[in-house]
Amino acid sequence: MRILVGTGLNQGAAEYRNIGDIAMLQVAVERLAELWPDAEILVLTDSATDLTRFCPQTKPLSRCGAETWLLDGVITGPLHLVLPEWITFHIRRTKRWIRTHAPGMIDFLLRARFRLHDGEHRGPKVESFFRALRNCDLLVVAGCGGFADSCRAWNFYALGLIEVALAYDKKVALFGQGLGPLADREVLDRMREVLPRVSMFASRGTHGAEAIAAQLGIPKSVFATTGDDAVEPAYRLRSQSLGNAIGVNLRIAPYSGIAESHADAIGAVLCDFARRRNADLLPLPIAQHSTADDRKSIGRLLGALSTSHATPGPESPQAIYSETTRCRIVITGAYHAAVFALAQGIPTVCISGTGYYAAKFRGLRELFGDGCEIVFLEENDSTSSLIHSLEKAWNLSVDLRNALQEKACKQIQASRDAYRRVAELFPAAIRDSRSDPAILSIP
């Protein structure tokens, strides 16, 4: 088996700086290796060093090659920046048609261009990508929250990657995917053309995802709601005893709808609550890059920005899982901090500032039920709602623990079943992995 993996990781310097995205990639690679122990697993990446650190059983493949091959303006070069929109629109459509009906021609045109321009830099990377695509048996898109209006560029990249794989009659599987909110007509049109032809679309449970999938024409036999792939590793490292700390995360970012003024108000409530409960406040940063640095956001929340800025956060998913075990409850503005806590049976208060995060957190509540509280900052009584949610989560933490862990087990099973369904498309290559490790036992 040759498996090509595309990810939802950020690009460039921000790649491997989001613990949730790393966690989902690790799970995808781990499960693929379980099903096909002798498989060659290639991962599109900007950092071979970081990939080796987090997924040593894989081989890196330059994402630059894939992006160059898929870019609409790569043939025309900088001309596409000055041409009238109607001309570039038809050029994009023409390139897409060539890419899906005669992909070898795109390869030929790129070769010709790179003989004249920067061939030593991008040419070999494009050729490596094209060769890997032709030779792979399966394209996997690892989990992320990319299929949403806030991730337009990634949508076109991912859909282009899927489309060209389908043009070569490759099987395509998507695991742990967020889906929605979506209103961008151009993105939706592309999704309608591409996604109904994949072999598996496993949703991590975004609110409204099933309705969107139906509108896109994704067959019910292909679509499955499994929960987030990262539920399993967090559940594995659960503690047998209840912690006493309050896990804290806040996401101040352009797409979160949370501002510094919110941090001040939330911090005042949280610090007072922790004092009355004699509980430590434990930072749980997930994103640590220039666009969204949870360390700074948490520092603002706790009134210790300078200290938080100087102190690095946990640098691996496993470190965050371990920190989370110390918590009795978690308050978070980041999706994966909630996933890691709920998977361990820890009630969570989620802070939503946009429709994007509302859909994420509502999806988690639909999967985990009681124990996943949501505070909507756009509501007038959000402060009162926050106080009430913190009290409720703390008081019910003991009673909810086993029920949350049971729901985590069901999601783990559903997610593993989705991988098996894809493996059954390759009966000659699959290893019998129906007997899973004893990870699903409830304490």
The whole-number pLDDT of residue 442 equals 44
Please provide the size of the chain in residues: 443
Enumerate domains of the chain plus CATH numbers.
Answer: 2-225 (3.40.50), 234-407 (3.40.50.2000)
pLDDT in tens, the chain (443 residues): 999 999 988 888 889 999 999 999 999 999 999 999 999 999 999 999 999 999 999 999 999 888 877 765 555 555 555 667 666 666 666 666 666 666 666 566 666 555 545 545 666 788 889 899 999 999 999 999 999 999 998 999 999 999 989 989 999 999 999 999 999 999 999 999 999 999 999 999 999 999 999 999 999 999 999 999 999 999 999 999 999 999 999 999 989 999 988 999 999 999 999 999 999 999 999 999 988 999 999 998 988 544 444 345 668 999 999 999 999 999 999 999 999 999 999 999 999 999 999 999 999 999 999 999 999 998 889 999 999 999 999 999 999 999 999 999 999 999 999 999 999 999 876 554 444 444 444 44
The whole-number pLDDT of residue 65 equals 84
The whole-number pLDDT of residue 258 equals 93
113: nearest Cα among 62, 69, 83, 161: 69
* Helices within 71-203 (DSSP H only): 85-101, 103-116, 123-135, 152-167, 185-194
197 in Cβ contact with 102 (< 8 Å): no
The residues facing 60 across adjacent strands are: 43
The whole-number pLDDT of residue 70 equals 78
Q: How far out from the chain centre does Cα 21 lie? A: 5
The whole-number pLDDT of residue 103 equals 64
152 in Cβ contact with 184 (< 8 Å): yes
Spell 65-83 as b/e; 16+ CB within 10 A means b. bbbbbbebebbbeeebeee
The whole-number pLDDT of residue 304 equals 56
